[in-house]
Amino acid sequence: MDSNYSIGVFDSGVGGLTVFEEIVNALPQYNFIYLGDNARVPYGTRSFDTVYQYTLEGVTKLHELGCRLIIIACNTASAKALRTIQQNDFLKFEQPFKVLGVIRPTTEEIGGLTKTNKVGILATSGTVNSQSYVIELNKLHPQVQVFQEACPMWVPLIENNDFNNEGGLYFIKKNIQNLLSQSPDIDTIILGCTHYPLIMDIIKQNIPSHIKVVSQGNIVASSLKDYLIRHTEIETILQKEGKRLFLTTEDPNLFDEKAKLFVKNQINSQIIEI
Ligand code: DGL
């Protein structure tokens, strides 16, 4: 049996690196290929069809490059494309593979964290409008009431390193207040966008300390670890040389520069067309 396959991690840009870092820390032995579609970021304000099409192209490229397990490390793409790819597109691929998202593992975890059963979601417009968190939480934890706030400015502010000034802070505070004003009993807030952990300190400064702020990276990483234990048919075909390859659809220098905001080690990415 071939065992030369990698784990693919797909995101609209650099945000997925917050998830990637945690996954790699938890599973350092595997080979990883990270693909950021920086040429077409942001996905969060785009239509369902566009996000689905872009995500399918990214997943197809990672599959071509030898990934047989692909994590869509982007909430917007997980919300808008994952199910359609799983249901409609798998049959088109000759080599079977698995695609997992970030919303399901996050919602699985949340039921055990809230005491008041009132959970807030901060996410992109695409994720909020898809209702994916509401649907998944209703399925898994029907007792939990979900409150959402779309933060369309946050990704551009973070991508441009423009969040820690008067203009940036205005939007961050406004969105948090909008969320909190929906219920005084929210005790848990999910950062439902891979970019948001980057401004965790600012978010926490604007949220009462009794409210838990949950980012996804470690949740997704431990869920993936568990998945590989349960799915030995995939685990055994994955190559374990600890290699990392970073690909971007835009200027690699820009990717490497932006990546510094997200990861500790210097990244040397390569450009790829998808
Ligand atoms: N990474 C995306 C997410 O987690 C946000 C970035 C974008 O809008 O493309 O939703």
Supply the pLDDT for residue 213.
Answer: 97
Tell me, in angstroms, the distance from the centre of ligand 1 to residue 232's CA.
31
Supply the pLDDT for residue 171.
Answer: 97
Q: Which amino acid is at 11?
A: D
Q: Domain coordinates of the chain in residue numbers?
A: 6-102+218-271, 104-215
**Hey, what are 25's tokens?**
């820390």
CA distance 162 to 139: 37
Candidate list 74, 79, 102, 219, residue with the active-site label: 74
User: 6 has which bridge partners?
Assistant: 67
Question: pTM for the complete prediction?
Answer: 0.94
Substitution candidate for ligand 1 out of 193, 196, 220, 248 with most atoms within 8 A of CB: 193
Residue-level pLDDT, tens digit, the chain, 274 residues: 566 899 999 999 999 999 999 999 999 999 999 999 999 999 999 999 999 999 999 999 999 999 999 999 999 999 999 999 998 898 888 888 999 999 999 999 998 899 999 999 999 999 999 999 999 999 999 999 999 999 999 999 988 889 989 999 999 999 999 999 999 999 999 999 999 999 999 999 999 999 999 999 999 999 999 999 999 999 999 999 999 999 999 999 999 999 998 888 899 999 999 9
- Where on the phi/psi map is residue 258: left (φ > 0), alpha (ψ -120 to 50), or beta? alpha
Q: Which atom of ligand 1 is nearest to the CA of 74?
A: 4
**Hey, what are 64's tokens?**
């071509």
Tell me, in angstroms, the distance from the centre of ligand 1 to residue 23's CA.
18
Supply the pLDDT for residue 1.
Answer: 53
Supply the pLDDT for residue 242.
Answer: 97
Q: Give the 3-state secondary structure of residue 20.
A: helix
Of the candidate CATH numbers 3.30.499.10, 3.40.50.1860, 3.90.1150.10, 1.10.3470.10, the domain formed by 6-102+218-271 belongs to 3.40.50.1860
CA distance 3 to 264: 30
Helical (H) or strand (E) element with 134: helix 132-140
CA distance 79 to 131: 8
CA distances 28 to 184, 228, 256, Å, are: 41, 13, 21
CA distance 196 to 157: 10
- Cβ proximity of 108 and 140 under 8 Å: yes
Taking residue 161's Cβ as centre, other Cβ atoms within 10 Å add up to 14
Supply the pLDDT for residue 93.
Answer: 86
Supply the pLDDT for residue 2.
Answer: 65
CA distance 143 to 139: 10
Catalytic residue at 74?
yes
- Cβ proximity of 124 and 151 under 8 Å: yes
CATH fold of 104-215, please?
Answer: Rossmann fold (3.40.50)
Residue 42, preceding peptide bond in cis (omega within 30° of 0): yes
Supply the pLDDT for residue 28.
Answer: 97
CA distance 153 to 249: 22
Tell me, in angstroms, the distance from the centre of ligand 1 to residue 193's CA.
6
CA distance 153 to 89: 32
Catalytic residue at 193?
yes
Nearest residue (by CA) to ligand 1, atom 6, is: 42
- Cβ proximity of 44 and 152 under 8 Å: yes
